[in-house]
């Protein structure tokens, strides 16, 4: 039986607000009690909680989710107060301090801020506190989303190199078809998180409160697996679900990470939600990257798109527009357009200088799909 020492618990909006009726403080108290029990067992716990916008909607007496960015930001700001208060009260009853951490995509895309966030989380865990992480919806300018808090949960799991990511939802787990439409749908009790069939089983969200359906949860499991983190998707209403899962009990859908921990720098590269540009590779370059753990040379690139500066993250695209890898590029987009398809020995004569023989060094490159 595995022994988990670092756990991330992600709770969705519909679950925490009882379908939009307002914060369900009774069930929040049960989750806090379970996380307090884990702390007594010396298990580090980070909570990723949705619910600020849903709580704000309830507090402001709105009949539906706002549509404009400014309304969403204001609603999130109001709701975040109730969300934090609820957790603070519940954890204090068990003698635990909680800490609010609000993150944006920019925080985790910037290397320095990423490392700062990681250090802060690790320090809070050393103090015995329970960090409560949410997207900073009140200032986010990317249509109020990381994509969803499932993705944020996976990124937090990468940050602290968690052993287990628990995604609590209002469903029992991942099914091979939609259980609300197919009475014969079967629960996927165990699978490899990188099994391509899983994405086919999952579907988008049908709810009006949150943004993440099973598709985002499977994608989050795949992202979490990059740091060796296993993922469980389970019902948050199941009795003592958190402590039972950490104890190794089979509840919901267990999606296993088949690989070990990726180096922290490469985790950061893999976690980027967007890239500054794209480099399109020929078949030979794709093969070399996937088989030989090699650097990317200009000669293997057939096209460059987007505007990027030296040191920014770019995607490496193979056949059928599949992202093969991504990494920190050594030349700007203007420079790349001049040297792609050329041998590295010609870089100096073309540009008038030669900073690096590679477009992306293998130490700054991470594979996104295998051969």
Q: What is the pLDDT of residues 299-347, one digit of tens each?
A: 999 999 999 999 889 999 998 899 999 999 999 999 999 999 999 999 9
Domains parsed from the chain with CATH numbers: 6-267 (3.40.1160.10), 275-367 (2.30.130.10)
Is the model's pLDDT at 206 over the cut of 80? no
Q: Give me the percent of the chain exceeding a pLDDT of 90.
A: 51
The whole-number average pLDDT for the span 113-119 is: 88
How confident is the prediction for the chain on average, in pLDDT? 87
pLDDT for residue 177: 81
CA distance linking residue 21 with residue 25, whole number of Å: 11
pLDDT for residue 94: 97
pTM of the model: 0.81
Rounded-to-10 torsion of CA 29, 34, 39, 42: 180
Residues with Cβ within 8 Å of 61's Cβ and at least 6 positions away in sequence, in order, are none
pLDDT for residue 60: 92
How confident is residue 144, by pLDDT bands cut at 50, 70 and 90? Answer: very low
The whole-number average pLDDT for the span 50-66 is: 88
Helix (H) or strand (E) segment spanning residue 325:
strand 323-328
Is the model's pLDDT at 209 over the cut of 90? no
CA distance linking residue 123 with residue 366, whole number of Å: 28
Is the model's pLDDT at 137 over the cut of 90? no
pLDDT for residue 212: 45
The whole-number average pLDDT for the span 246-250 is: 93
pLDDT for residue 208: 43
Residues in the chain: 371
What DSSP assignment string belongs to 101-118? EEE-HHHHHSHHHHHHHH
């Amino acid at each position: 039986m595995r022994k988990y020492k670092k756990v991330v618990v992600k709770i969705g909006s519909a679950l925490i607000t009882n379908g939009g009726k307002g914060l369900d403080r009774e069930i929040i108290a049960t989750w806090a009690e379970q996380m307090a029990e884990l702390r007594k067992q010396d298990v580090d716990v980070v909570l990723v909680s949705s619910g600020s916008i849903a709580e704000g909607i309830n507090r402001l007496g709105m009949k539906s989710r706002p549509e404009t960015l400014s309304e969403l930001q204001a609603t999130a700001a109001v709701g975040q107060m109730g969300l934090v208060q609820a957790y603070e009260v519940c954890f204090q009853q068990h003698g635990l301090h909680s800490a609010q951490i609000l993150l944006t995509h920019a925080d985790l895309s910037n290397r320095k801020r990423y490392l700062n966030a990681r250090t802060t989380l690790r320090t809070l865990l050393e103090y015995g506190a329970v960090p409560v992480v949410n997207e900073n919806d009140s200032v986010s300018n990317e249509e109020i989303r990381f994509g969803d808090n499932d993705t944020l949960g996976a990124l937090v799991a990468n940050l602290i190199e968690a052993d287990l990511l628990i995604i609590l939802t209002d469903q029992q787990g991942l099914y091979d078809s939609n259980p609300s439409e197919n009475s014969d749908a079967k629960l996927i009790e165990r699978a490899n998180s990188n099994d391509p069939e899983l994405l086919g089983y999952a579907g988008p969200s049908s709810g009006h409160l949150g943004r993440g359906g099973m598709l985002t949860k499977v994608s989050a499991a795949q992202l979490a697996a990059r740091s060796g983190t296993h993922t469980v998707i389970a019902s948050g209403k199941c009795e003592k679900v958190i402590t039972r899962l950490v104890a190794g009990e089979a509840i919901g859908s267990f999606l296993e990470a088949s690989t070990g921990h990726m180096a922290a720098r490469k985790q950061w590269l893999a976690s980027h939600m967007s890239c500054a540009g794209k480099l399109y590779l020929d078949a030979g370059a794709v093969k070399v990257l996937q088989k030989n753990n090699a650097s990317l040379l200009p000669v293997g690139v057939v096209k460059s798109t987007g505007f990027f500066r030296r040191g920014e993250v770019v995607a490496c695209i193979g056949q059928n527009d599949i992202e093969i890898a991504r990494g920190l590029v050594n030349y700007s987009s203007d420079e790349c357009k001049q040297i792609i398809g050329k041998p590295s020995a010609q870089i100096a004569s073309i540009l008038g200088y030669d900073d690096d023989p590679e477009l992306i060094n293998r130490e700054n490159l991470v594979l996104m799909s295998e051969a």
